[in-house]
Structure 1
Amino acid sequence: MRRSAAGGLAAVLICLLSACGEDEPATFTGARLDQPYAAPTVELTDTEGEPYSLAEHTDKPMTLVFFGYTHCPDLCPMVMNNVAAGLNRLDEDDREQVDMVFVTTDPARDDEAALRGYLDQYGEGYVGLTGDLDDIVAAGDPLHLYVNDGKRLPSGGYDLGGHSTYVLGIDENDEAVVVWNQETSAVEFATDIHILLSED
């Protein structure tokens, strides 16, 4: 009996230290917003050249929104890889209920074609938005997303000075109800999205 109990304890410890604990997070890991942010009504431009508003055009039960730029060397690719991998983990029913929107913080370089080519590397059907920088700043403001006015460097590159690296989840009521930080893993994205969709 004692040996059996010890063996069971060892199995639990092995599971906790291995992929068992990684594959299925036990709890919701994003930050739910007690006072949701209203999606902005500012119209930007999608990769088809059509107007797109986060308030008017996010009709699915869940729309993930990330502000970044295609020339970002580190954080944007990391976040986008985790989002894409998280969406790929969803079953077909969940995946059909989710959109992904990428809003550039570098409209001087990220035109419609640049955004389309960038997003197609991550998955199909992602929405890319660009526009005047003032409009992009205005779109980020009600979502509490910081967007800095980029400065051109002598080298020809840009110093954007930083931008928020949060991913927001906007529901079908046009409200941002959850925020994920840059360290959220693909498994955590998938688990949280499934939980959110199951609550509807």
Structure 2
Amino acid sequence: MRDLPTRRSVLAGGLAAVLAPVLVACGGDEAPSGTLTAARVDPPFEVADIALASTGGDLLSLADPGARLSVVFFGYTHCPDVCPLVMSSISIALTRLAPEEREQVQLVFVTTDPARDDEARLSRYLERYDPTAVGLTGDLEEIKALAESVGIFVADAEELASGGFDLGSHGSQVVAVAGEGRAPVFWRQDVSSAALASDLSLLLRSDA
């Protein structure tokens, strides 16, 4: 993904005003113990109830994701740079969780290039990072609507030759979706695996 110099905020509707300060851990291996580094959204985003085809062979809506906490990333399998880095960071973070925590968290990868990323391609891609991860694909306009419902602004994204979209490095947020279909926090794409793992543990112990 290339950086878009004119990229606007990924938060639609001026929601930046309701966010707590973004204290993102960039790089490094340690995160402050007991400190949430993610940006909080208050009130949380309400995830659009849009069912997409999943790599599990059925339809899945993030409004009812089937896990206590879902870590959601929008990208595409042909992405040469940002996506592999973010996915690697997420997968490492998940290995840092205690077994009882890991059972409550699922990784969800939503393609922004549905013309090329069918369920089979997504499955092969996700095997590199987390065999238990869920990939979602479907109608491009529905994917855009889903992204915007969790604060990802896609209007300025670069259009791919296939018709999909590239969010650019500033738009590659990692979003947490709680089991009831709310998105209470998000992280920048450069969040460290240690900070992400620490935050996930905190979120699982809280009512976020």
Normalised to the residue count of structure 1, the TM-score between the two structures is 0.81
Identity of aligned residues (%): 42
Q: Which residue of 2 aligns with 1:52?
A: 60
1:187 is the counterpart of 2:186? no
1:33–1:67 Cα change, 3 Å: same
CA-CA distance at 1:36 after TM superposition: 0.3
Q: Which residue of structure 1 lines up, in the alignment, with residue 68 of structure 2?
A: 61
Give secondary structure in 2 for the equivalent of 1:23.
coil
Structure (1/2) with the larger helix percentage: 1
Determine if the alignment matches structure 1 residue 150 to structure 2 residue 155: no
How many residue pairs get aligned? The number is 175
The equivalent of 1:135 in structure 2 is 142
For structure 1, the 5+ residue unaligned runs are 1-20
Written as runs of structure 1 = structure 2, the 5 A alignment for 1:1-200 is: 22-26=29-33, 27-56=35-64, 58-147=65-154, 148=157, 150-152=159-161, 160-163=165-168, 164-200=171-207
Q: Within 2, Cα distance between the matches of 1:112 and 1:61?
A: 24
Q: How far did residue 49 of structure 1 move?
A: 3.5
Q: Give the partner amino acid of 1:140.
A: A
Task: Decide whether aligned partners of structure 1 residues 151 and 69 sit closer, same or farther in structure 2, where only a CA change above 3 A counts.
Answer: closer
Q: What SS does the aligned partner of 1:63 have?
A: strand
Unmatched segments (≥5 aa) in structure 2:
1-27
* RMSD of aligned Cα (Å): 1.9
SS in 2 for 1:113: helix
For residue 133 of structure 1, what is the amino acid of its counterpart?
L
Give 4+ residue runs of structure 1 displaced > 6 Å after superposition: none
Over residues 10-37 of structure 1, what are the superposed CA-to-partner deviations in whole Å (9 max), with x where a residue is unaligned? xxxxxxxxxxx84342321111111100
CA–CA separation in structure 2 for the residues paired with 1:100 and 1:151: 24
Q: What is the TM-score of this pair, normalised by structure 2?
A: 0.78
Mapped contact 1:166–1:181 kept (Cα < 8 A): yes
